[in-house]
Amino acid sequence: MRQTKHRIIGIDPGYGRIGVGIIEGNGQEWKPLYFCCIETYAKMNFVDRLDEVHVALKKIIATFKPTHAAVEQLFFYKNVKTAIDVGQARGVILLTLRQMKLPIDEFTPLQVKQTITGYGKAEKSQVQKMVSVLLGLHKKKIQDDAADALGVALTAGYQLEYNKRITKR
């Protein structure tokens, strides 16, 4: 029986730096195709920064043609203005994914940590280390936000496989 290959884009939302990671696989085995951080210039007008995120994300999606998308949900910010700004950027990200006709899954940081490390309260560094191990990236330098995005993509990949098994029962 042949397994379907999935190509998943994972996103760690923000507006100054947005982590993006794309993986491909068939449920159990995943390989990284691309990862980066979309960065916007702090002195730009906020709306222009949001537009820059939208345009960059569309280019990445058009280039790599993912079949699914996964975005990390907002958890907690001490600074209310930062939370509102990240929320607005997340809205732009979700709208861009929807416009590109991608099915979207959303995961909390706790779900990502649980899936990647087996422990929902794992430290950020533990998640990033496991992402490197799971994707064979030990020798590559990965920005934190890009590693987080790959973790979100892996969480979606494992969830797709789990859902497929459940529906076969």
Domain boundaries defined on the chain: 6-168
92 pLDDT more than 90: yes
Residue 163 in this model has a pLDDT that exceeds 60: yes
Superfamily of domain 6-168 in CATH is Ribonuclease H-like superfamily/Ribonuclease H (3.30.420.10)
Percentage above 70 pLDDT, the chain: 93
Q: Name the residue among 6, 55, 20, 57 with its Cα closest to residue 145.
A: 20
Q: What is the pLDDT of residues 28-80, one digit of tens each?
A: 789 999 999 999 999 999 999 999 999 999 999 999 999 999 999 987 667 78
- 92-96: list long-range contacts, CB under 8 Å, 24+ apart: 92/50, 92/53, 92/54, 93/11, 93/13, 93/18, 93/53, 93/57, 95/54, 96/53, 96/54, 96/57, 96/58, 96/61
Residues with a catalytic annotation lie at: 12, 72, 145
pLDDT surpassing 80 at residue 113: yes
pLDDT at position 168 over 80: no
- Residues 123-142: pLDDT tens digits? 989 999 999 999 999 878 89
What's the confidence (pLDDT) of residue 78?
A: 73
Q: What pTM value is reported for the model?
A: 0.93
